[in-house]
Structure 1
Amino acid sequence: MILLGILPLQHILIILLQIFFIQSKIPKTSFNLPQHLQKHPNLKLIFPNQPLYNPFLPPPLISPLILPSNTLPYIIHLFFLLSLFIPALFPPLTSNKSIIIKQPLPPFLPLIPLILPI
């Protein structure tokens, strides 16, 4: 259950970093922004539009944690975790291999107790 709660927090943090704090040091290093892009005048315009899907992810990921345990919250949670995990596999396979820890691992860990009877 802790892993299921951490994943929505991760997306809330990404939203905050990309929309409100893009000029600070943390997102510049977290998103590996090259120096020439860090000083780009449109940075404040580009990044707030980048995380448009992120605000939609925390509510369905949190809902199974606060709703009574039954089939619908389980299916909702499984659907959204898979929706995060499957697309997150593409960047590490096609570009930076170190992203495998940052992108597909967080949605994969909560999938384990949902899929396997532990």
Structure 2
Amino acid sequence: MQLLSTILIALVALEHLYILWLEMFAWTTRGRQTFKSLPAELFEPTKALAANQGLYNGFLAAGLIWSLLITDPQWHTNVATFFLGCVIVAGVYGALTAQRSIFFVQALPALIALLFVLITHSV
């Protein structure tokens, strides 16, 4: 169960590292292919805004990776719970305000990972 929890946290962290890369470094190239609902002329003027969002995703990934490096079980659980909770809140907010699919892409994987973290800690 612990291994599965670790893998799920790592996957959520990797997803947010990918989002960091996409929003900070590939917004005007790969971003256009990923976010097809946005008009093409918006990518260049919103480059700085996307980079800012990417930076926040990087902080989420860093926190999740940090949680994987903590050897104390209680602190690992606390830090993982906090950062997975942040991802869930951001994903729900994004789904409500921007695009519904954000819930399934970001919030749901973090929610599943959080459930496994809590189940592993309670065992």
Distance 1:75 1:95, change over 3 A: same
Is contact 2:25-2:51 (8 Å) kept?
Answer: yes
Matched, 1:88 2:91: yes
CA distance change for structure 1 residues 84 and 45 in 2, over 3 Å: closer, same or farther? Answer: closer
1:37 aligns with 42
1:14 pairs, out of 16, 19, 22, with 19
> What is the RMSD computed on CA atoms of the aligned residues?
2.2
Q: How far does residue 110 in structure 1 lie from its aligned partner after superposition?
A: 0.5
In the aligned structure 2, how far is the partner of 1:54 from the partner of 1:44? Answer: 15
What does residue range 42-53 of structure 1 map to in structure 2 within 5 Å? 42-53=45-56
**CA 1:96–1:23 in 2, change beyond 3 Å: closer, same or farther?**
closer
Partner of residue 113, structure 1: 116
The answer to whether the Cα contact below 8 Å between 2:12 and 2:109 also exists between their aligned partners in 1 is yes
Paired residue total: 115
Q: What is the CA–CA distance in structure 1 between the aligned matches of 2:62 and 2:50, rounded to whole Å? A: 22
Deviation at 1:87, TM superposition (A): 3.0
Q: Which ranges in structure 1 are unaligned for 5 or more consecutive residues? A: none
Unaligned runs of 5+ in 2: 1-5
Give the drift of 1:102.
Answer: 1.5
Structure 1 residues 15-67: Cα deviation after superposition (integer angstroms, max 9, x where no partner) = 1111111122x3223234222324x4x24333223323222122221123223
In structure 2, the CA distance between the partners of 1:29 and 1:8, relative to structure 1 (3 Å rule), is same
1:79 is matched with: 82
* TM value normalised by structure 1: 0.79
Greater Cα shift, 99-108 or 7-16? 99-108
Superposed displacement of residue 95, structure 1: 4.9
Alignment partners' CA distance in 2, 1:81 and 1:28: 28
Judge conservation of contact 2:22–2:54 (CA < 8 Å) in 1: no
Q: Identity percentage over the alignment? A: 29
